[in-house]
Structures are given as C-alpha cells and as structure tokens.
Structure 1
Amino acid sequence: MKGTFFNKPLEWNIETVGESWQQGSSINGTLKVKNHGTETISLADAGVGLAYAEIKKIHARAEGALKLDATTTFEQKELKAGEEAELSFSFNVGPNSPVTDKKASYYLAYGRQFNENHLQSKIEPKALYTKIVGLLDTFHRFKQKEFKASKKGVEFKLLPPTSRDMANIESLNLTFSMDEDKLVMKYDFQVKKLDTSSVTTKINKESHSIEKLLAPKEYSLGKDMINQDTLLKSVEAVLSEVKLKNVY
C-alpha cells in the first residue's frame, strides 16, 4: 500500500508491506521525505504514527480526530535543500485491537507532528475467529451478517438457520477475544419464549448469554490449524443449552 503527499517544499512517500493486517500481526513499512526547497527544514517532530479514529471525523477533517497509539520519528533532525530521508517503521497490532468496521479504523498518520496526512490501515479479525464462524456456517447454518469492533474484541452478528430445532433463536452475536493465550467466546442470543402465565398466550423475547474460555490445545492443533473437533463440541454444547432452556 502506497501514499504520496506534497506539502511544499516537502514531498512525503509512505509504503507498507501488505494491504491489510490481522489482529496480532504487525504493520511494517517505510516513510520517505524529500526537501524540494532551498532552505533547511526541521524534522524534529516528524515521523509516522499508528492512530485510531472515527471514519466520519476523518472525512469531516475534524481536529484531533486521530488518536495516536504509537509513533516513530526520524533520527535525522533536519533536512537540507534537495536532501531525502528514509524511516523504517513497525507497529504491533494487538490480539484484541479494534478491527476496521463501518464506524472506525486504524490509520498511519505521517508528516510533521504526525498530522500532515494519513493512510487508512484495514485491520481484519484473527484467522482463528473467521474459521470458527465458518464452522458455525458449515455445521449449523449460522450465516455471518457483519462484524464490528467491540470493547474487548470482535463481535460477529450471525443469522440463525430456519430449521425447526432452532426456531426459538432470533439472533446471535458472538464476540471473540484473547485472554493471554486463552480464547474467549461470548455468545449473546436473542431468543423467543412462550409465555403461558397470562390469559392470552404470547411470545416474549429474552437475552441469553454464555461465555466459554478455551485453552490453546482446545482451539488449536498448531500454526494455522484449528482443533475442529473440540471447537464443534464446545459450540454444540452452547447451542444445546439454549435450545433445551428456551425451545417451545
């Protein structure tokens, strides 16, 4: 991914390795600046930073929209006329860092005081999460509608199957996060339950939450390999609990 910006007399060029990044990875790249002017320019406060921002504030060019998480500055503190400087950078994206969604995203903010220009950096969920969502689709026909950043991880909104045994489940929001090396899966169901306590029978909607904490051996068989059997057993246990308590 590349970006170029001119702010006379400086020309900025940024380039990253890759176009998008998963949670738990790192954003690597280089930032170059060239002085096209005739005078020496200070680079004392210049560099690149990883910042988080609401997308609508970026589009509106709102002041202070970019919230810096980390920065890297040029070792060279000034740039003579016609001179060029280069800065390598690497920013870690934490395992629970917010993913890019409709509302907000990470950006690479660069230039003097890290606010001359920015480049949106798309952060995607960990591959582990998308593979588990794939299991829910393949074996239980829960369809992914969307995902978004949550306070502690990534929330996937899933549409339940139309099968009779799950007719009571109206929706499922499944939130993934990491607690050190343990996988946290928080299921938030909206379920329908028959109310027979009143004179007229009616259907109520209730929230039902279940949280599972899985050790590495329970969700992984090694690099890029999920423990499908154990994960399916965990998912099926959760679904059975909801159906048993709420089926009508």
Structure 2
Amino acid sequence: MRSTFFQQPLEHQIEVEGETWDQGGVIKGKLRIRNMSSETVTVKTVQVILAHGLNKAIKDKGDVAWEVQEKLVTAQDISLPPGGDQTQEWSFILPTDCPITDKQGGLFLLFGGEEVLSKGGRLDLQIKLNPILQNFLQTFTTQFRFLEKYKKRKAELTEIKLIPPESREFPNLDYVYCYLRIHDGQLKVRYSFKMSGLGRTGEKMTVTKKKRELEQSIPPENYLLPGGFPNRACFRENINQALNIAKPEVIF
C-alpha cells in the first residue's frame, strides 16, 4: 500500500508491505521525503506514528483524539537539495492485544513532520484477530454451533457477541459476550452470559433477566501444540466448561 502527503515544499510518501495484518504481526515499509522546491531545505523531523483513531472523528474532519501506540523518528536535521530525497525504512511489531479494525475505528499510520498528529499523512490499516484467537472463536462457532454477530474493540480486549443454537441445551441463554486477549503469553477469556427465565411477582409470572460470568486464563503450554499450532482440544474443553454454567440443571 502507498500514500502521499504534501506539505510544501516537501512530499512525504509512505509504502507499506502487505494489505492486512494480524495482532502480534509486523508492519514494515519505507518512508521517502522529497524536496519539491528549487532551494535547499532543512528538515527538522521526519516521523511515523502508529495510532488508533475513531472513524466518526476522522470523517467529521475535526480534531482526532489519536491514541498513540508507538512512534518512530526516522530522520532529524537533514538537508535536502532542490529535487533531492531521502528514504528510510521503518517497522512496528504489533502487540498481541492491539486494537483490531472494526466499524468504529482502527489503527492508522500517521507520517510527516513535527505536527504529524494534526498536519500529516495518514493510512488506515486492516488489523485482524490474532490467529490463535481466530481458532478459539472458530471452535466456538463450529463445534458448539454458535453464531457470531460481530467483533469489536473493547479497551484492551476484543468483544465478540455470539448467539446460541436453537437446542434444548440452552433454553434460557439469549446470547454470550466473549472477551478475548493474549497478554504476556496467556490466553485470557471472559464470558458474560445473558439469560432469561420465568419468575413470579405476586400472582404474576414475569420474565427475569440475569447475567452469569466466568473468566479463564490459559497458558501457552496448554493452548499450543508442538510447532506452535493451536490446540483445539484445549479450546473445546475450556469452552465446554464455560457453557456448563449456562445450561439448565435438568434438560427436558
């Protein structure tokens, strides 16, 4: 991917290797700065910033409250002759729990000079769920037949809303929020089950709502097989353990 930003008399052009990236992956590329004038120009700072932004603020073209994830100064105090240019390589290692791209926003590359946060080029990035978490989620949807409604960022977590299958196993379960994260090597899972039932208020039967929650922390020696492959048997065991709290004690 490529994007160009003009700030007279300079042209900044960023090139990025790839189109999509996973949490925990590496984003890298080159940034070229060119003097478009007929005079020598001194450039104080050239930088690339990895930041999270909300689409609405960007679309409204107001002040964007960027959440800076990482910053790289690629050049300082350089002199460019007329028509001269310099190219620097850069790279960012994405954290395993960095924000994914969702409908609300995502990660951007901001590039330019000292005022890059307010006056600079920008390139939006497509960040997907970590492959291990993708496998965990696939186990939920294929082995247990839950339907994924959406994925979105929730602080340092990724929130997934799942709808249960129509079966006698989950007659009272409306849906479950599953919050996923890999942090310090640990696979963190928090389940929030939203359930309905019948209760009595005086002589009337009413629908009652309740919530049940469970947290799990799975070490890498459990969720990874030799060679770094995901252990789906481990995923099934942990998901099944969590789902037990959403099942009725007696199934008719």
Q: TM-score range by the shorter chain?
A: over 0.9
Partner Cα separation in structure 2 for residue 60 and residue 110 of structure 1: 20
1:54 equivalent to 2:54? Answer yes
- AA aligned opposite 1:150: K
Partner of 1:23: 23
2:183 pairs, out of 168, 179, 191, with 179
Partner of 1:66: 66
- AA aligned opposite 1:6: F
Deviation at 1:64, TM superposition (A): 4.5
Structure 1: which 5+ runs fail to align? none
Deviation at 1:65, TM superposition (A): 3.3
Partner Cα separation in structure 1 for residue 225 and residue 245 of structure 2: 27
Q: Which moved more, 1:123-132 or 1:238-247?
A: 238-247
Partner Cα separation in structure 2 for residue 245 and residue 117 of structure 1: 58
TM-score (norm 2): 0.91
Alpha-carbon displacement from aligned partner over 1:12-31 (angstroms, at most 9, x marks no partner): 21111111211112211111
Partner Cα separation in structure 2 for residue 202 and residue 64 of structure 1: 46
Partner of 1:199: 203
Deviation at 1:150, TM superposition (A): 1.1
Deviation at 1:188, TM superposition (A): 0.7
C-alpha contact (below 8 Å) 2:51/2:70 kept by paired residues:
yes
SS at match of 2:135: helix
Partner of 2:86: 85
Partner of 2:141: 137
Alpha-carbon displacement from aligned partner over 1:42-85 (angstroms, at most 9, x marks no partner): 32122211111111111222224333332222335232211111
1:95 equivalent to 2:85? Answer no
Partner Cα separation in structure 2 for residue 193 and residue 163 of structure 1: 16
Partner of 1:38: 38
Partner of 2:219: 215
SS at match of 2:48: strand
C-alpha contact (below 8 Å) 1:175/1:187 kept by paired residues:
yes
Deviation at 1:247, TM superposition (A): 7.2
- AA aligned opposite 1:220: L
C-alpha contact (below 8 Å) 1:193/1:246 kept by paired residues:
no
Deviation at 1:205, TM superposition (A): 1.2
C-alpha contact (below 8 Å) 1:170/1:192 kept by paired residues:
yes
SS at match of 2:44: coil
Q: Which moved more, 1:27-36 or 1:68-77?
A: 68-77
Deviation at 1:246, TM superposition (A): 9.5
1:225 pairs, out of 204, 222, 229, with 229
SS at match of 1:4: strand
Structure 2: which 5+ runs fail to align? none
Q: Considering only aligned residues, what root-mean-square deviation do their CA atoms show, in Å?
A: 2.0
C-alpha contact (below 8 Å) 1:47/1:110 kept by paired residues:
yes
SS at match of 1:75: strand
Partner Cα separation in structure 1 for residue 25 and residue 161 of structure 2: 24
Partner Cα separation in structure 1 for residue 183 and residue 218 of structure 2: 10
2:166 pairs, out of 133, 146, 162, with 162
Deviation at 1:232, TM superposition (A): 0.6
Report the number of matched residues. Answer: 248
Alpha-carbon displacement from aligned partner over 1:67-117 (angstroms, at most 9, x marks no partner): 333222233523221111111111121111111111121110011122321
Alpha-carbon displacement from aligned partner over 1:147-205 (angstroms, at most 9, x marks no partner): 01112211111111111221211011101112311111100110112214642222211
SS at match of 2:102: coil
Partner Cα separation in structure 2 for residue 225 and residue 40 of structure 1: 54
Partner Cα separation in structure 2 for residue 245 and residue 206 of structure 1: 16
